[in-house]
Chain A
């Protein structure tokens, strides 16, 4: 609600009582809703610190009676998927090897693309850009199989390199849009002055645009790291058990039908997989919000 400005009588805002009915309702609702959002995280943490007997006895919301870190160790280094029993660590390193080159490649390509579209427009560029943005809405399922064929022809199917290519391709629409809009919002005089001084395409990019656009690069990195780390569909299609990323391996560990279900190990594994994006989220704060909002900005 806006400032309660009073036009008659004493000036200045009305003194507020901290426990008015309105405030109790407001904060009460917010706290209850916050609980709904926080409960799963709490349950994950609590369950992962309990031993199996305690889980079978008690309820999932109760705090652990004795804290054990064994489930975490087991999830990291011993949990089984099929015949492999070396835990989530393999998936973790696969995900790292997929994420880092994909993020670098997609951001380099998209930033140069966006720069070309914003400052060096040529005839037909907007047709390609239109198709690209339209492509972001096409369900991936329509494009999956031809890409399988393409990667197989190149000998990259089920290899980490193939996944890097796939992530670079599908990250392109949103990132190109992000960079194009950002470069277009920079003052044009800057670009013109550099042109007058004789700078060319790459000169302007490296000496003027790049140093000025660090914030948007950080936003792009956040967007891509969380997006690629959280991907499941491409991982399950374009990788094989040896090269599965963490999310796919996690799902296989938790939803495997063999053996006794160890809920504490499952929750520890789930937390480990969620740890990377959560860490980025809590560290980056407002930039993350800007990143997800940028995903929503229209061309």
Chain B
């Protein structure tokens, strides 16, 4: 069908133009990007003219796509308003515009591009709506810009966040990790120098080691403690909700509060060490926050205090989901309870364990606040973690390139951890359904 093909061509031209426009806005330089978006839009307009040449009929009032067309015209009006607010004269006379001067100015290129885009959409619908009646199947253009519009507009914040922030910001950072950015981001590539410097730095190696120790211990301990607590609470005990409330309340507190409390409890002069000594054991030493060798375990104690309640909650939900028949069968066969847990219940709860593990792991890589509050990375650099390395280089050391490289390494770490999970999760699901 030639009609469909030409409509597709129009949609592709729009997509391509938007892509070039985004690249230009992100700061990609080059003569092509200077003119490409508008040029491609012009080609799109040409394609529209071809479509129009086939029908040569335009009617706004008898058009069955009147609603969506008006919608796009409203969109144009909004963009025009942004452009007006960005004018100096308007800003001087109207307070509201003045406060956000820079915001309006930053939005100008987007608004002017959107006006051209929306105008094309409206004209395209005008042509298509006049050409087709309600009995012909909807063409590609109508499906893209003329139907289910409210839903598409409602999903715009999501699309903007997903593409505009998550994808573009991530790619931007990855690209700039290959540059020699210092105080300001630069765009000339210098290859892998930043990564070489990163892996040569003792501080980074130490950060990775700390994170590995913290991560491994925190995964094992919070899974074990969380599961044991859940199993204990699942024994039909009295005051279950009281115990659950006690185990979970630290999770409501921020890492800063957690870190500061444990910093206080672990202070050698006043805290645990002082108390044990005053009981008569004079040589007792327990000063994790001041001993570089064990400082990460001091942080681990606080981290576990904060996080195991959540694991317990998830495990408890998992245990409650287990069929009671399993227990009856185990009792009939005379299998002791602990064996039933290890060989029957835990394998049955595999999905819960996987979810919990992913949750714990995604929390571990973010470890930052707790360290800042509890030790500020000290003593010396003994409790540094990658997230803190990134922050210190980006905002403290004015060495953006290092920060970008380190954060890219964090991303790589997450991807390595996430891909097997995604494969298990989604690859497995396809087999079943």
Contact = CB atoms under 8 A, between A and B. Distances in A.
Contacts of A55: 270
Contacts of B148: 120, 122
Assign chain B's interface to a size class: 35 or more
Interface stretch (B2-10, B128-136, B359-367): B359-367
A117 B232 CA distance: 40
Given A40-B265, A139-B411, A250-B260, A154 B102 contact: yes
B173 A143 contact: yes
A19 interface: no
A296 B355 contact: yes
B157 A155 contact: no
A1 B169 CA distance: 51
14 contacts: A43-B261, A60-B274, A112-B154, A113-B158, A128-B155, A128-B162, A139-B387, A232-B256, A250-B256, A274-B257, A278-B249, A285-B245, A289-B248, A296-B310
Nearest to A129: B158
A278 B251 CA distance: 9
Contacts of B356: 296
Contacts of A247: 254, 256-257, 369
B232 A26 contact: yes
Contacts of A280: 252
Interface residues of A, number: 98
A37 B247 contact: yes
Interface string A73-107: 00000000000000000000000000000000000
B313 interface: yes
Interface string A25-47: 01101100110111111011001
Contact of B166 (A34, A143, A293): A143
Interface string B289-332: 00000000000000001000110011001000000100110011
Contact of B261 (A3, A34, A44, A137): A44
Nearest to B369: A232
A202 B150 contact: yes
Contacts of B250: 37, 40
Contacts of B366: 139-140, 233
B275 to A, nearest CB: 5
A155 B418 contact: no
Interface string B379-392: 00000001100110
B432 interface: no
A170 B264 CA distance: 32
Contacts of B257: 230, 247, 250, 270, 273-274
Contacts of A21: none
Contact of B143 (A123, A128, A131): A123
B159 interface: yes
B1 interface: no
Nearest to B99: A155
A137 B270 contact: no
Given A33-B247, A117-B155, A1 B103 contact: no
Contacts of B394: 144-145
Given A117-B155, A132-B161, A154-B106, A47 B372 contact: no
B157 A146 contact: no
B91 to A, nearest CB: 12
Interface stretch (B41-49, B112-120, B235-243): B235-243
